[in-house]
Structure 1
Amino acid sequence: MALGQQHVLSFSPDGKLFAFINDQGILRIWDTETNELKQEYTPNIQLSGPCTALTWVITSFAGDGIVEGKKIERNLKGEGHSGKVTCLAQDAEGHLFSSGEDCQIIVWSLSDEKQLSSWSVGTEKPYSIIYLGISNNVVVGGRQIKVYSVATQELVQTFTGHTSDINLISSLILDECTEYVISTSRMERIICLWKMAKR
């Protein structure tokens, strides 16, 4: 099968590490500068389903700073998704945003290890999600790009232009206050740059 169908992968925010989960669920993390395998983790496949999404999470504790070199496992409690999770994102306040085949966004508290809220993103399955810190919005990509307010859970912007499912979205900030979203889709050879509305 194709790489995108069976494998889950991601670079760390600083680009120094690369994580890869294969179709057996084995997680491997490499140093991108030295090509050295840093960690490997094999889950108990009998107790868990296949991995369908991956994101890097920054954890910190009061007085300790960021914990490095430690594996932190948490089970987040709540109703969760009714289908596969397809994408994950994190904000700076310890919230994790997940979306999936059930077309729901769920907000999780990493510190309290529980589900906080959820809302529908329509009928298009989202394959990418990012959090925008300046506007406090979540952007999801299915066939369209939809921007939701985290505070009100309302749709604030919609962008159309791709002809197939969006497989990657990323963000950048210019002038310290203007947010942009970059997107690509599965069947196109173009990169789109979208300017987000100021709040």
Structure 2
Amino acid sequence: MGLASPLTRWPASRGLLSVVARFDASPAEYMRGDQIDALFGSAVTERLWHSERARRHLSRAVRRQLNENTDCLDLDRPEWRLALLPVARLDRLASHVASLVVAAEVRRALSREEVRLWRDWLEPEAYEFAQTVTGLMPVLAPLPEPQAWRRFTAAEVGWCWMVAAADAWPGPIRSRFVLKQLALPDGCVCPMDDASARRVVQAVLSIVESRWCSSFATQTN
């Protein structure tokens, strides 16, 4: 007897399955522009990219480039809470991850100039998060040379933690998630191991995207 269809194995989770199936089969619908350039160079014009039919062909080409012939349709994966977030919300989350990473320094800042530098670097929402919410979260080990991280953007710093958090994910999920990744400059590397980075990212995700995370509990139960 053949394997049951995913639609019959997860009858209560068809909404989630639909989103996961698009993530699996249609990477061209969500990948960043610089990732497109890295894979295809100038072969993909803006006009071509805005054609739905062309994007379907491009998605197949992206899958071939990834050398991923394995579907990622297992709904019972904790990675989906992060992997399925749209790019804009991932960037927002990254800034909040960065705010937790540097929160101790932000709260210690006394001089007007240092306060201004941290506020400008994090921007208002993530700065407020560092000043208030992070005080209720697990205390992180001090970050080596925290001011030196300001040579990167807050989103870049948060993304390097998110990349580390995804390091041990199943290959098909991770390879597609990387297509949403912000391009990171040299030296922007998370100093934590993947398990520690994952705890940081999940802690921030559960607060910043609490309704989103709750929806997964509803879908998979």
TM-score bucket of the superposed structures, by smaller chain: under 0.3
Structure with the higher fraction of residues in helix conformation: 2
Which is greater in Rg?
Answer: 2
Higher strand share: 1
TM-score (norm 1): 0.23
Higher relative contact order (CA 8 A, sep 6+): 2
In the superposition, the TM-score normalised over structure 2's length comes to 0.21
